[in-house]
Amino acid sequence: MNTHYTAVAKSLHWLMALLILGMLALGFYMTDLPLSPDKLQYYSWHKWAGVSVFILVGLRLAWRLMFPPPALPAGMTRAMKLAAHAGHWVLYALMVVIPLTGWLMSSAKGFQTVWFGVLPLPDLLAKDKALGDQLAQLHWALNVGLLLLIAGHAGASLWHHIVHKDDTLRRMLPAR
């Protein structure tokens, strides 16, 4: 029985972790900047990364279906296992919903999303400032929730590693 994730699953996990943390930092930084060419560039980079996360989460979910993750450590209680599974599925849901709300928001605000400045994506909504503002608030709130969930995810991994001394964290670390 394999107790570790596959190399592809580990690579996707850490690539997406870096990408998402970078996007969160950039997103929280850029929103209060005064309008400038730099701010517009930051928004473009943020959108490029958001589309990339959206694509990568699709690949990650497909990989997970083809190569199921290893079983959770035997010493975990039923409640801990339920919390771990629920936390993972909420993370996946947010990795899908947050880029979609960003895309919908951009469409409603009248700003087309152009992936890497090359591939224009269709607007999903007609221009509607009030709806764009509501979607901006939703996008913000979902990102705050994602940040809290990531902190809980990382904290739980460290708690298992330090307190329970089980294999939970090591099974996602790169091979040594």
pLDDT level of residue 176 (50, 70, 90 thresholds): low
**Can you tell me the mean pLDDT for 143-168?**
91
Which amino acid does the sequence have at 92? Y
**Can you tell me the mean pLDDT for 49-55?**
95
- Tell me: the pLDDT tens digits for 96-149? 999 999 999 999 999 999 999 899 999 999 999 999 999 999 999 999 999 999
> What's the pLDDT at 24?
95
Largest CA distance in the chain: 55
Per domain, the residue ranges of the chain are: 7-172
Report pTM: 0.90
Give the residue among 16, 26, 21, 28 at the shortest CA–CA distance from 53.
16
Could you name the CATH architecture of 7-172?
A: Up-down Bundle (1.20)
> What's the pLDDT at 1?
61
Residue with tokens 């994730």: 5
**Can you tell me the mean pLDDT for 80-105?**
95
**Can you tell me the mean pLDDT for 39-68?**
95
Alpha helices in 67-174 (DSSP H): 78-109, 129-159
Cα three-residue angle 9-10-13, rounded to 5 degrees: 85
